[in-house]
Structure formats: structure tokens, C-alpha cells
């Protein structure tokens, strides 16, 4: 399956001044597959090691030998000279060796021509809790997410439909009869989410959705729960991590939608759950959307750190966690959960595009789901799950801040209303909002 991060990997390879590369992302989003494919295609000499199994490498870097001796012994141990031109070393599950992570500084400073790519499960958690010095400024980080809707359509060989969506977005033209076809694919995406194995299973159904194997997502969720035992201080923290994760469906159903520690359990204190929530953030299992007090540039300068929303990192997993079955999703019968599922989907698409998740909350229960910074200033985005798009929040925001235009993402086709100043973008075109961002 084609992934957009491949372009970023190529840019890293072709850069004149490069550093060891660390690829971060939630488990099962396809990191190992795409890195392996990249290394095989783009380099003449390639070696992959996995520190879950290559225990001798872990032992080597836990020794007290000098950095140079470890470096030379690593080449002998692997029987691979990564100093040679057109060579790359891929270290998977590097979180198993804090010492090797720390030694990436030595690689960059003393052997700057060596190509090294690192990845791993819960690597973000490990990096946040390192006991050894992290090589600050000595590595490059890339973030990988589950497949967005653009990658999903590419996997379905729907490039012509993608091109139509892109053109209609640029020209603000109607999709015509193709609008319903794109909506159909959008609902398929809600079913599978963006995890590659889940998408592959859906494609293999050949449009017979009711034979889609839900166990793919169930297995990923089970892996996530098992991961919650790793890189924690004790079993109490594990339990708290699970409690936070399981509370998110209720958190998003709150009238305020903001994350509240009291929803996890009665009388819960923030100090008891800050670390478990941080664990989920660093593992990339969840995505944080922060509240902006004043929608002015730079938005991050006006964030209220005590007020935020938390989304699941993949909408397919969200649907599995609330036990939405295939028929419910495909027939668009999600009822009370439909709004927050749609909002979670949009959050995932924006995050995968590299857009900071930010929202605004005003008086009189007014709230704008997302804010983006564009050449036209701060633009508010409202998300609607239906074609019925009446809302007072955009009007209140418009009266207060007078943006050049506003965006409404919904089941409606592309369009622009001169009276309300609202640009309509279909849910399936959310991935294109990145083209508007500074």
C-alpha cells in the first residue's frame, strides 16, 4: 500500500546534511512495513535488525566499552559495513536499548555519513521516560499515522475519484453524481479506519462488507491493552492508563466534550491521572485537541492547557470500542454516537496532515470544533455529521472575530454561501484542508 510518508523518507535520503532518523507512530500503523520497503527499494546495501530478537546488540550497547569500540563491534556482529556508500541500517524495536538510543548522538557526530533508521512499539513512551541522555538535536523525527482517507482511496485504486475531489476542492465545484460514490467510500473508511491490516481486510471483501473480518481491529485493540503493561512504573499505573482510555467514549459524549478527570472515576484527581494520560499521548493511541482562549496568531500562544479534548487515534478502533457493528456503520445508523465519531474522524484526518488540533470555546455554549491558521488568517471549522448544517456557533464566532471565511465539514457537497460566508467541504475531502494551512 502506498503511504505518503514515503516522500518524507526520500527527502531524508536525498538531504545533504542528515541525521539518524526516528519514525514514531501508534502500533500497527505500518511503520515497519514502509521503512522496510523503502530501504529495499532505495539502497543497494540494507540490513534490518530487531532488538526484541537481536539480544546480542542490546548486550553490546549495555557494556562499558567506548562508543567507537561498540560501533566497530556492531559492524562485526551484524556482518554489515554500514559505512559503505548506498547503505542503510534499520533498527526496529530500538526502545529495547536505551544505550543505543543515546548512542545515536555518537553516530551523528563521529560517523555522520551513516544512514540509520529507527522505529519501535511504544517508542514515544520510551523516549519520554529515558534514563539515559536523549540525543537532543542529533536525530530527525518523523511521525506516522494510520492511513488517511486519501491513502485509503489510493489503496482502492480510486485515483480518478481522488483527482475529481482535488479539482472540486480547488475550484469549489460540485461533485455532482460522484458525491454519493465518495460518501460511500467515506462510510467504508469509518468501518475499517486507517490501520493497514484492517484496510486490506476490507478491500479483500470485494464490496461484500458483511464478510469484513472485524477480528483485525479486535486484535489491534487487544495488542494496545497488552502494551499498557509496558514502560510503566507499576501495575497501578497500568490500571489507570486503561481507565483513561476506556473513559474517552464518555468524555466525548459530555455536553462540554472537554476531558474531565472526574469522568474516569468519582473523586479522581488530575495529579493521579496526568502520567497515565501522558502515556497514552506518547504512545500515539490518543490525540489531544487543545482549547484556544483567543483565536489570534500564533494560536499556540493562546492555548488553555487545562482545557482540552481527547480523541482516539483511529476512527475504526473507536467504532470497535463502542461495538458499532458493520450494518450500523454502512447503513449510517450510528444514532447518538454519530456526531462524535464524525468529529473523531476529522481530528484524525487533520492530525495526519500535520495540523495542530485546536478548538475554541466561547460564551453561551458556543464552540468551534477546530481552528486552522491560513494565509487568510485564523479560519474556524465546524463539523456536522448530517446534511442539516444549522448552527449558532459559527454565527457567534463570525460576529466576534469576522474571519475572511468559515468552513463547514459535513455530508454536503462542495459549495460557498456568500450570505453566511461559509465554505462547504464534504467529509471525504477533509484531508485537503492541509492545502489551506500556512
Asked, for residue 399, whether it belongs to a domain, the answer is yes
Q: How far is CA 278 from CA 98, 140, 240, 249, in A?
A: 20, 22, 11, 18
User: Do 369 and 277 share a structural domain?
Assistant: yes
pLDDT at 216: 94
Asked, for residue 279, whether it belongs to a domain, the answer is yes
| pLDDT tens-digit readout, 180-230 | 999 999 999 999 999 999 999 999 998 788 889 999 999 999 999 999 998
What value, to the nearest 5°, has the Cα angle with vertex 277 and ends 366 and 282? Answer: 110
Asked, for residue 172, whether it belongs to a domain, the answer is no
Asked, for residue 190, whether it belongs to a domain, the answer is no
Asked, for residue 404, whether it belongs to a domain, the answer is yes
User: Do 230 and 123 share a structural domain?
Assistant: no
Which contiguous run of DSSP H or E holds residue 271?
A: helix 270-282
Closest by Cα among 33, 103, 95, 25 to 71: 103
Question: Would you say 359 and 367 are in contact if contact means Cβ atoms under 8 Å apart?
Answer: yes
Range of the domain at 318: 210-436
User: Do 224 and 86 share a structural domain?
Assistant: no
User: Do 233 and 128 share a structural domain?
Assistant: no
Closest by Cα among 385, 369, 376, 389 to 427: 385
pLDDT at 233: 83
pTM of the model: 0.95
Buried b (16+ CB within 10 A) or exposed e, 33-52: ebbbbbbeebbeebbbbebe
What value, to the nearest 5°, has the Cα angle with vertex 88 and ends 21 and 108? Answer: 45
User: Do 220 and 139 share a structural domain?
Assistant: no
User: Do 345 and 214 share a structural domain?
Assistant: yes
Asked, for residue 307, whether it belongs to a domain, the answer is yes
pLDDT at 1: 85
Q: Respond yes or no on whether the N-terminal peptide bond of residue 298 is cis (omega within 30° of 0).
A: yes
Task: Tell me the C-alpha distance between 392 and 177, whole Å.
Answer: 30
Could you tell me the CATH number of the domain that includes residue 105?
A: 3.40.50.300
pLDDT at 210: 85
Task: Tell me the C-alpha distance between 39 and 89, whole Å.
Answer: 8
Q: Which of 144, 165, 196 is the last residue of a domain?
A: 144
Number of domains observed in the structure of the chain: 2
User: Do 342 and 261 share a structural domain?
Assistant: yes
Strand 358-361 versus strand 367-368 pairing type: antiparallel
pLDDT at 278: 96
User: Do 227 and 139 share a structural domain?
Assistant: no
pLDDT at 295: 96
User: Do 323 and 224 share a structural domain?
Assistant: yes
Task: Tell me the C-alpha distance between 199 and 2, whole Å.
Answer: 12
| Ranges in the chain, pLDDT < 50 | none
pLDDT at 65: 93
Asked, for residue 180, whether it belongs to a domain, the answer is no
H-assigned helices in 129-203: 149-155, 159-171, 178-192, 196-203
Amino acid at each position: 500500500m502506498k503511504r505518503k510518508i514515503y516522500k518524507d523518507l526520500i527527502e531524508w535520503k536525498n538531504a545533504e546534511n542528515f541525521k539518524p532518523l526516528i519514525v514514531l507512530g501508534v502500533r500497527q500503523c505500518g511503520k515497519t512495513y514502509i521503512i522496510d520497503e523503502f530501504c529495499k527499494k532505495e539502497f543497494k546495501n540494507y540490513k534490518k535488525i530487531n532488538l526484541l530478537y537481536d539480544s546480542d546488540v542490546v548486550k553490546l550497547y549495555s557494556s562499558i566499552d567506548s562508543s567507537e569500540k561498540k560501533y566497530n563491534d556492531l559492524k562485526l556482529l551484524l556482518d554489515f559495513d554500514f559505512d559503505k556508500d548506498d547503505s542503510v541500517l534499520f533498527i526496529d524495536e530500538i526502545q529495547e536499548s536505551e544505550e543505543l538510543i543515546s548512542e545515536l548522538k555518537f553516530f551523528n557526530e563521529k560517523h555522520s555519513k551513516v544512514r540509520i533508521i529507527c522505529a519501535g512499539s511504544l517508542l514515544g513512551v520510551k523516549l519520554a521516560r529515558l534514563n539515559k541522555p536523549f540525543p537532543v538535536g542529533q536525530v530527525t523525527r518523523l511521525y506516522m499515522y494510520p492511513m488517511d482517507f486519501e491513502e485509503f482511496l489510493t489503496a482502492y485504486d480510486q485515483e480518478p475519484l481522488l483527482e475529481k475531489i482535488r479539482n472540486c476542492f480547488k475550484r469549489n465545484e460540485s461533485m455532482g453524481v460522484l458525491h454519493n460514490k465518495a460518501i460511500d467510500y467515506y462510510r467504508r473508511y469509518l468501518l475499517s479506519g486507517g490501520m493497514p491490516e484492517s484496510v486490506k481486510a476490507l478491500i479483500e471483501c470485494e464490496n461484500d462488507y458483511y464478510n469484513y473480518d472485524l477480528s483485525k481491529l479486535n486484535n489491534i485493540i487487544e495488542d494496545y491493552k497488552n502494551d499498557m503493561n509496558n514502560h510503566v512504573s507499576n501495575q497501578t499505573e497500568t490500571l489507570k492508563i486503561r481507565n483513561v482510555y476506556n473513559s474517552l467514549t464518555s468524555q466525548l459524549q459530555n455536553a462540554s466534550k472537554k476531558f474531565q478527570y472526574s469522568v474516569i472515576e468519582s473523586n479522581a484527581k488530575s495529579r493521579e491521572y496526568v502520567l497515565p494520560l501522558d502515556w497514552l499521548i506518547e504512545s500515539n493511541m490518543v490525540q489531544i485537541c487543545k482549547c484556544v482562549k483567543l483565536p489570534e496568531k500564533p494560536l499556540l500562544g493562546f492555548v488553555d492547557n487545562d482545557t482540552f479534548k481527547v480523541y482516539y487515534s483511529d476512527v475504526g478502533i473507536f467504532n470497535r470500542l463502542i461495538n458499532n457493528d458493520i450494518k450500523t456503520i454502512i447503513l449510517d445508523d450510528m444514532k447518538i454516537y454519530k456526531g462524535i465519531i464524525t468529529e473523531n474522524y476529522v481530528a484524525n484526518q487533520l492530525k495526519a496532515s500535520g495540523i495542530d488540533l485546536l478548538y475554541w470555546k466561547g460564551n453561551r455554549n458556543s464552540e468551534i470544533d477546530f481552528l486552522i491558521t491560513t494565509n487568510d488568517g485564523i479560519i474556524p471549522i465546524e463539523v456536522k455529521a448530517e446534511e442539516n448544517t444549522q448552527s449558532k456557533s459559527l454565527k457567534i464566532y463570525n460576529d466576534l472575530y469576522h474571519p475572511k471565511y468559515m468552513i463547514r465539514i459535513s455530508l454536503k457537497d462542495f459549495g460557498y454561501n456568500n450570505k453566511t460566508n461559509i465554505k462547504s467541504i464534504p467529509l471525504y475531502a477533509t484531508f485537503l484542508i492541509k492545502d489551506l494551512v500556512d
